[in-house]
Amino acid sequence: MLKADYAARQAKLREIAGVDAVALVPGFNMYYFTGLEFHLSERPVVAILKPDGDLSFIIPELEVPKLNQRPDLEARAFAWSDTNGYADAFREAVSELGLNGITLGVDGLTMRVTELLEFQKNAATMKVSAIERQIIRIMAMKTPEEVESMRKAARISEAALDKLMAWVQPGMTERQIATRLSEEMGALGSEGHAFEPLVQAGPNSALPHGMLSDRELGADEFLLIDFGGRYNGYPADITRTFCLGTPTAEMQKMYDTVKAANEAAIKASGPGVAMGDVDKAARDVITAAGYGAYFIHRTGHGLGLAGHEMIPQIAEGVTDLLEPGMAFTIEPGVYVPGLGGVRVEDDVVVTETGIDVLTSYPKVFKRG
Ligand code: CO
Ligand code: CO
């Protein structure tokens, strides 16, 4: 676990305009702002942060020891038992923290109807405001320690890919290849996966978010691998596309186009650059090669604890500017139904003067 200044992070949360308190449920943002990890389960846990800095938790009794291990948080517990249920804990929190009549900021993507209804039962005049963009805006500004964790995650992932590629042969199934990749990552010290690795062979690679199958890899087909390990909780997200045999001229052209698009987008990235201009740099290359209609997603997404993060958004027409500390992926792709797809994905961080590319795995298509 990375050491973090939770008080400083919470101070930024309190600065969010237009809300009188913020409520977080278990997940990446509760972890980011408090360092506490709980499962999002049928037993509600809610962190409530008030503008005066007061931090409280509505929390099952059995989880209270986790709070007690963190005296630095100075958190107050509204504990509830499995016997009595959580209704009283919500009522007490609303009453003692004065939540009635206020505007409560929540992450609209993670707060469930369950928690919301429980608040509203006790606070008829409470307003709710979805502030996930403001929350992720804070998390988007990576510290050097966070960047180093992502760099380490990328190194581990790439070392695992190296081992995999020395082993992989035509005739193996997507599932076999993915399983082996997982084993290599574990052996190299990855904390599990940032997401389930995607191994796609032949025409399957034409589905950007396809599923693993038992399809056997043919020698002269595309082999697309999208995966990433974690280190200190921070992810890597890397895609490389290979051919173990002899690609057709069309496959080679697709690959060369996507690689050039990836490189153009990296070159276009930097502080003060509009996010949409990075997308455009990649898209122009692909369009010029005649594959514009086959590039069916954005060029990249924010990268952080949650894997995909909403900010920055490297997509067509986004005028927001890249700022130092923002981490994101650059992953243009071309997908031709029936034939297959190519994607080349790197992880980058904006610096004061340019761009720091965290991934370095060679972009070599033919591996025969
Ligand atoms: Co990916
Ligand atoms: Co990605």
pLDDT single digits (tens) 290-299 = 999 999 999 9
- Cα 345 to middle of ligand 1, angstroms: 6
- Cα 270 to middle of ligand 2, angstroms: 19
Helices 174-187, 144-167: crossing angle, 10 deg rounding: 130
Check whether 222 has a pLDDT greater than 90: yes
Helices 132-139, 6-14: crossing angle, 10 deg rounding: 140
Residue-level pLDDT at 108: 95
- Cα 367 to middle of ligand 1, angstroms: 21
* C-alpha–C-alpha distance, residues 302 and 313, integer Å: 6
Tell me the three state secondary structure of residue 78.
Answer: strand
Query: In angstroms, what CA-CA distances link 77 with 34, 35, 93, 203, 237?
Result: 14, 16, 9, 54, 37
Residue-level pLDDT at 52: 86
Residue-level pLDDT at 79: 98
- Cα 63 to middle of ligand 2, angstroms: 34
Question: What tokens were used for 228?
Answer: 């990433």
Q: CA torsion, points 68, 72, 76, 77, in degrees to nearest 10?
A: -30
- Cα 74 to middle of ligand 1, angstroms: 38
* C-alpha–C-alpha distance, residues 90 and 78, integer Å: 8
- Cα 283 to middle of ligand 1, angstroms: 18
- Cα 238 to middle of ligand 2, angstroms: 7
| Residues surrounding ion ligand 1 at CB below 5 Å | 226, 237, 239, 345
- Cα 120 to middle of ligand 2, angstroms: 37
- Cα 307 to middle of ligand 1, angstroms: 9
Check whether 306 has a pLDDT greater than 80: yes
| Residues 134, 192, 306: CA angle, nearest 5 degrees | 10
127 pairs with which residues across the strands? 103
- Cα 355 to middle of ligand 2, angstroms: 18
- pLDDT tens for 19-39 read 999 999 999 999 999 999 999
- What value does the mean pLDDT take over residues 307-333? 97
- Cα 335 to middle of ligand 2, angstroms: 16
- Cα 54 to middle of ligand 2, angstroms: 37
Ligand closest to Cα of 197 equals 1
- Cα 249 to middle of ligand 1, angstroms: 26
- Cα 299 to middle of ligand 1, angstroms: 11
Read off φ and ψ for residue 229, nearest 5 degrees: -90, -175
- Cα 286 to middle of ligand 1, angstroms: 19
Check whether 1 has a pLDDT greater than 80: no
If one counts every other C-beta atom within 10 angstroms of the C-beta of residue 252, the result is 15
Does the pTM exceed 0.85?
yes
Percent of the chain with pLDDT over 70: 100
- Cα 144 to middle of ligand 1, angstroms: 22
- Cα 237 to middle of ligand 1, angstroms: 5
* C-alpha–C-alpha distance, residues 364 and 368, integer Å: 11
Report which residue type is found at 312: P
* C-alpha–C-alpha distance, residues 134 and 97, integer Å: 23
- Cα 226 to middle of ligand 1, angstroms: 5
Residue-level pLDDT at 208: 86
106's CB contacts (< 8 A; 6+ apart) are 22, 23, 24, 116, 128, 129, 130, 131
Mean pLDDT of all residues in the chain? Answer: 96
Q: Which domains does the chain have, with CATH numbers?
A: 6-139 (3.40.350.10), 141-367 (3.90.230.10)
Ligand closest to Cα of 297 equals 2
Check whether 53 has a pLDDT greater than 90: no
Q: Confirm if 40 and 26 have CB atoms less than 8 A apart.
A: yes
Residue-level pLDDT at 314: 98
Question: What tokens were used for 19?
Answer: 């809300």
Residue-level pLDDT at 171: 97
Helix count (H) and strand count (E) of the chain? Answer: 10, 18
Tell me the three state secondary structure of residue 244.
Answer: coil
Ligand closest to Cα of 328 equals 2
Residue-level pLDDT at 209: 80
Residue-level pLDDT at 368: 75
Check whether 272 has a pLDDT greater than 80: yes
Residue owning tokens 């025409």: 203
- pLDDT tens for 164-218 read 999 999 999 999 999 999 999 999 999 999 999 999 999 999 998 888 999 999 9
